[in-house]
């Protein structure tokens, strides 16, 4: 199992381009995230291949459905040997509890919940009827996840410090929207640098294009690992 705080988002359209990157790096440098596009195109077989290469895999499918369906999906994901998986906190307490109960084995993957996507703004929340500040919504959903026994949440590093303070050091915070100082923000709106994210309490940093599209992904990983290991 890797000691790295970096989770590389494999935002590729197919297995060939995915494995081209995976074969250039190694499990000591990072963990890997498989999201909806890649999973939909390549399915569970790709996840198994990554696990068999000794990578810790975060299966980022954000399950959000009726409790029984989510529970069974979590069991299926655990059977793939993934290190971490997630559900959406907006599914509510019964769904979250069902997901937690489905992963009762001692060697089960970590289970975290999505709070508010880092691509979302307060205007986006208002458009769907959530009249609450982004930070307050994140805090409410994170508290709900902890109450139901989940291991942590996905959140912006901007909310990490307060969540660590209110929910405890052992509650895992996974932070997307990470960009190096010289990187373009892309479609992310609530972004921070790796060092700032760790300082604010993030346990794992999800980094996609700044690494996957780098001329030298290995060197980029070494640079970020070195930067945050000294904090």
Tokens of 166: 């209110």
- Whether 49 contacts 23, CB under 8 Å: no
110 — phi, psi (to 5°)? -70, 145
CA distance 97 to 92: 9
Place of tokens 């996507």: 117
DSSP, res 170: T
> Which residues are marked as active site?
62
Asked if 95 and 121 touch (Cβ cutoff 8 Å), the reply is: no
Query: By CB neighbour count within 10 A (0-12 exposed, 13-18 middle, 19+ buried), where does 140 fall?
Result: middle
At a CB cut-off of 8 Å and minimum separation 6, what does 60 contact?
9, 33, 34, 35, 36, 85, 86
Q: Which residues pair with 32 in a beta bridge?
A: 8, 57
């Amino acid at each position: 199992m890797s000691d790295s705080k970096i989770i590389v988002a494999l935002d590729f359209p197919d297995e060939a381009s995915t494995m081209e990157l995976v074969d250039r790096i190694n499990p000591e440098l990072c963990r890997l995230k498989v999201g909806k596009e890649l999973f939909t195109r390549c399915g569970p077989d790709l996840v198994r291949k990554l696990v068999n290469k000794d990578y810790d895999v975060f299966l980022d499918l954000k399950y959000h459905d009726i409790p029984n369906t989510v529970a069974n999906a979590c069991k299926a994901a655990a059977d793939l040997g993934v290190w971490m998986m997630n559900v959406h906190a907006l599914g509510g307490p019964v769904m979250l509890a069902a997901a937690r109960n489905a992963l009762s084995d001692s060697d089960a993957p970590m289970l975290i919940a999505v709070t508010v996507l880092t691509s979302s703004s307060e205007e986006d929340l208002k458009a769907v009827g959530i009249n609450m500040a982004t930070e307050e919504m994140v805090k409410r959903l994170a508290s709900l996840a902890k109450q139901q026994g989940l291991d942590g949440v996905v959140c912006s590093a901007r909310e990490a410090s307060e969540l660590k303070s209110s929910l405890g050091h052992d509650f895992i915070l996974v932070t997307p929207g990470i960009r190096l100082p010289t990187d373009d923000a892309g479609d992310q709106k609530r972004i921070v640098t790796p060092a700032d994210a760790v300082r604010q309490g993030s346990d794992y940093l999800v980094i996609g294009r700044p690494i996957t599209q780098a001329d030298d992904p290995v060197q980029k990983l070494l640079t970020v690992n070195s930067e945050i290991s000294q904090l």
